[in-house]
Structure formats: C-alpha cells, structure tokens
Chains A and B, each alone.
Chain A
C-alpha cells in the first residue's frame, strides 16, 4: 500500500506540477522570439506523470529521462533556475551550458539525464538498479520513455534484463499517442504498451496520465514492490503533449481541436485543483498563492538566464575526461 497523501504532500504535488507547466509555457513563449537555441521538446500536459512517479521517490532513487525531460528533472528535484540557464546556453546552467535542453542531468538528486537518443535510458537504469541490489540498498530506478521509444530494442533488452536479474526497476511508458508525427496506433503493435509486460515476465498496468492520483497509486505500488525485492514492473500512463514534438512543429498530423479539447476536459492541474478544493483539503487561495510564487520563480529564472555569462574558450576542452 502506498502511503496516504498528507496536506503537505498535496501542496507539494501541486507546486511541482505548476512549476513544470509554468517552466514549459514560458519556454514556449520565449522560443517564439528566436532567442532560445537548439531543439526544445516541451512536457506541458504530462505533468501528472513525472510528479505522480517522483512523489514516490527519494534523492537516492534514480530516474533516466528522455528528450522531453524538463518535467522529469523538476519533479526529481533539479533546480529550475539552473535548468533555465542551461537551456539558454549559460555557464551557470546545470551542465555549464555544454548540454542544453536535451542533456540536463543532476546526479546529486538521482537524475541520470535527459537523453538525445530515444530508448537510451533503459539499459542505464538496469545498471543503477543492479548497483543498488549488489550493495543491498533499498533504492529503485525508474526509466521514463515514450510510446515511440517503446519500440526500441534497448527497451526490450532492458525489460528482459531487469526481469532475469530481478532488478528494482520501473519502466514508465509515457504514451502521448505520437512519436514525432507518427501515431502510436501505427507504431505500437499491441493495444497497450503495458500488454508487453507479460512477455518479459513482469506485471504491467495502464493508467490515466491526466490523473495525478492514479499515477501516484500505480507507480507507488510498482515502486514498493521493487523496493521490497519483488522485481521490475511496466507502468503505462496515457496522456497528451500540449505542444508540438519540438518547438516550431506545425502539428498538421493532429486533428483540429485535439489539444484544446483535452486542455478543457482532462488537464491534470485542473483535475487536481478541482479534487483537492472540492474535498475541502486545500483552499483555492492556497493554490493561487503557489501559482504566484511559481510564476515569480520562473520569471526570475529567465531574467537570470538572460543576463548570466556564456561559457568561454577556456571551457571548450574541459570535462572531456576526469584526468588528463
């Protein structure tokens, strides 16, 4: 049984989801001005997944993320101010401006890295989980991956490996229906990604990824199982990305009104706020106060990112090796 959520937990979950949303919406706006370099893949719409999973984790647990990694980073405790500076290519960024949006990592909080290679994280979490197992540590590892990534050999190999070694791994499939422009209805041969679990000898479950509580419960059960030596699980969350594959994508492969309809009827923040305020657990004013604080945090992170220094020639050849 997963622990019941306290008032503090609920406020924390809301703050995390709001921080991700604000961070991504701000990037969406700023990208349009042409100032933000490189490829940026936004996580807006999917906040309940990263938050619902990471609320079950400690800093000693590990996650591997994807190209759409900002939400995973924030939920795992990476500082959004450093992340913003990283995305702007600044020396003060999480990775000194050397990695950018697709490579934000912070091992000090158990965040193994966003990833530019689809499916790259699966094998890595088998390694972190193996280390925990061999050292008799109660730590679990979570691999976030998309519906597109679910078709990568690395993911299949990792699922089998985690099972045969009985590793504390959670394969967390974020099925948002698309890999770039290609539909998961085409690319995934079975109805649900979770159906594949039985082929690898592990339990699989599909949950509503717009519902924070559903994700929190399902991931929590899988994480508890892994922590107690029960082995790996596959958890599929069905959700939607609110923006294009990357910023600039015209999204003509999507049906008109698809996103608006989801925003209006299923949005994870909307559902969460409705539930906790109508139950009387949290007052709307408390949520509004969080909204204001988060907005100030993100505004501040952008002001800082814009004025922070860029790396210089002296940084070009450092960090290739530990010792030279």
Chain B
C-alpha cells in the first residue's frame, strides 16, 4: 500500500525495515541517536536533521553515536563490512568527506580489486549535500562527481521519496561500498511510497518525462528544477524528455544515449561546480558516442567555479534555476 511520506521519512523507513530484516545492519554516526552520555533524552536528535529519529529505541544497541572522528568511525564501518556486517555510516554533511576520504577511496573502494576479487565491503556511507540553506562554503557542496570518479564505489543520488527508499534498501543489500547522497532541500518533499520493502536496482535511469525535442539529464535536486522548466517549455511547444540517472555510478548510459539519439539535443543539469562534473562527464559521453545524431551543441547548466557563497543573493545566483534551464533548452532548439 502506497501513501504519501517525505523523502526524510522514506530514508528512515528503509533503514528501519532493513535493520529489522537483517541484524547485521547497524547505523552509526555523530548524533544519529544524539544524546549519548547526556542527562536528557538518549535519542534527543536522531541525526542532525532528525532523519534517524526513532530507530534508537526500535533497534537497541544498533544505532551508535560516535565521537567526532570521521576517519575513525567511517573506517570502522568499512572494517566491519569486511567481516560481513552491513554498516550504514552517516557522514552528516558530505563536505566532511575531506576528513575521512582515505578510508573511502584508498581503502573501501580498492579492496575488492587489489585483493583479486576475494573481498566484499558492503558498507553504505550516507551524507547530505547541496546548496540552498545559507550554510556557506563548507556545508553546501555536491561532491558526487568526486566519488563517481573512483572505481569501486557506487554512488546514489535519489531525487524523490520513492527512489530514496528503494535505492537505500538496494544500497544496504548491495555487496559493494555505496555512497548514498541526500539533498537537504529534498528532505521535506512528499511522494507516494509503498509501505512494503522494495529495492530499485542500480544503473537504471528513470525517464521522468517523455518528449521528443530535447533531452534533459538532471541529477538529484535538479530533477525538480528540470520539471519546472519542462512544464514551462511545454507551453511554448517544446517537448522535453527528462532523464534522472538515479545512480551516477553505475551510470545508465544506454537510456541517456538512446534519448539523445531520439531528440538530437542534450542539456545536462548538475548543481555542482562545472569542471570535471557529472555534467561534463555526460556531455563528453554523448559527444563521443552519439555525435552524429546531435542537431545542436550540448549545453551544461551547473553551479559556478567558485565555492558556494553565503549571502542569499549570491547563493541563489549560484544554484541552477529553472530559468537557466529554459534558456539552455531554447538555445539548443533555436540553434541552426
């Protein structure tokens, strides 16, 4: 039975159901219970934004607060995964990756290959990302492209509650290290989500909207912005096809390229900085593989090559808007 819940509730439900199904699933991170050792409520926070709230009492001993030691506990989650646990470590803000990246990219990502296929590291690292909260340069980055660059990591960027639940369940069941990234602005988004457990396979893009004029590939929160833009463009007689890759690694290149072959026009929307981004990656892929079907230059709508600014006027300029997507689509359509 499906009912409307938020993205945040969908994530909580996926964790809850997987923890009930498999005792090896544990959740750890700073304040994921929130209140350890404190005189008041033992699960006062349930995560900095309350995403893991309630799990502490439902799964005694398996929701573990950590000291502020990201290298330590992210590495410990990876080590536990090596011996068959299925830890879900929360990094809070993805920006804190900077503190613990070695454990992720030199350790977890490489074990299986370096060890000749003899190991499995079924760890999930959850983190929130994205701009829009006046949280400034160290709490607003996207960074999925950095993880996507590393062979051995799988990278998940759900754009709605339904996908968040199904993809998180798949992440926990998956036997490789998975980076699961949640856009802060999506936590309150509501959508139909089945009560029962279900897994969405990795590497299967969703065609969010069908159209024959222009293909828009959008990542994470940008799927919403692309939908706004497409609704507006529809009124002008431009029919957009929107593709949400859902996972940037593995990437469903077939669905993207087939759509570009059909429309002949591609706009990629990615909130991160433009250089070495998902936008440039997907644009490069299309340019190399389906050049012959392109009727116009590929357009990329991204953030800027600057840290994310604090002041609201600057931050709003920084984040790709529906208006910028509309302009990019129009320019590919008008190209002669």
Q: Tell me the A residues contacting B by CB distance below 8 Å.
A: 37-39, 89-91, 95, 97-100, 102-103, 115-119, 148-149, 151-154, 178-188, 250-256, 258, 310-313, 315-317, 320
Interface residues on B, range: 35 or more
Q: How far is the CA of A37 from the CA of B45 in the complex (A)?
A: 22
B245 within 8 A of A: no
Q: A39–B135 contact, CB under 8 A?
A: yes
Q: A181–B39 contact, CB under 8 A?
A: no
B1-9, B63-71, B230-238, B252-260 - interface stretch: B63-71
B131 to A: closest C-beta gap in Å: 12
With contacts A38-B136, A254-B38 taken as known, whether A153 is within 8 angstroms of B306 at the C-beta atoms is no
A123 to B: closest C-beta gap in Å: 12
Q: A38–B40 contact, CB under 8 A?
A: no
Residues of B contacting A180 with CB < 8 Å?
30-31, 34, 45, 48
Q: B307–A320 contact, CB under 8 A?
A: yes
Q: A97–B314 contact, CB under 8 A?
A: yes
With contacts A182-B31, A182-B65 taken as known, whether A39 is within 8 angstroms of B38 at the C-beta atoms is no
6 A-B pairs with CB atoms under 8 Å apart are: A98-B307, A149-B68, A153-B69, A185-B38, A187-B36, A253-B40
A36: nearest chain-B partner, CB-CB: B134
Q: A116–B134 contact, CB under 8 A?
A: no
Closest 9 pairs between A and B when the two form their complex, measured CB to CB: A186-B37, A183-B37, A116-B138, A100-B310, A38-B134, A253-B44, A37-B134, A97-B311, A89-B311
Q: B310–A38 contact, CB under 8 A?
A: yes
With contacts A181-B44, A311-B313, A320-B306 taken as known, whether A119 is within 8 angstroms of B68 at the C-beta atoms is yes
B304 within 8 A of A: yes
A187 to B: closest C-beta gap in Å: 4
Q: How far is the CA of A167 from the CA of B31 in the complex (A)?
A: 34
Q: How far is the CA of A258 from the CA of B38 in the complex (A)?
A: 12
Residues of B contacting A187 with CB < 8 Å?
36-37, 65, 67-68
With contacts A117-B98, A187-B37 taken as known, whether A90 is within 8 angstroms of B67 at the C-beta atoms is no
A317: nearest chain-B partner, CB-CB: B306
B130-151 contact mask (Cβ, 8 Å, vs A): 1 or 0: 0001111111000000000000
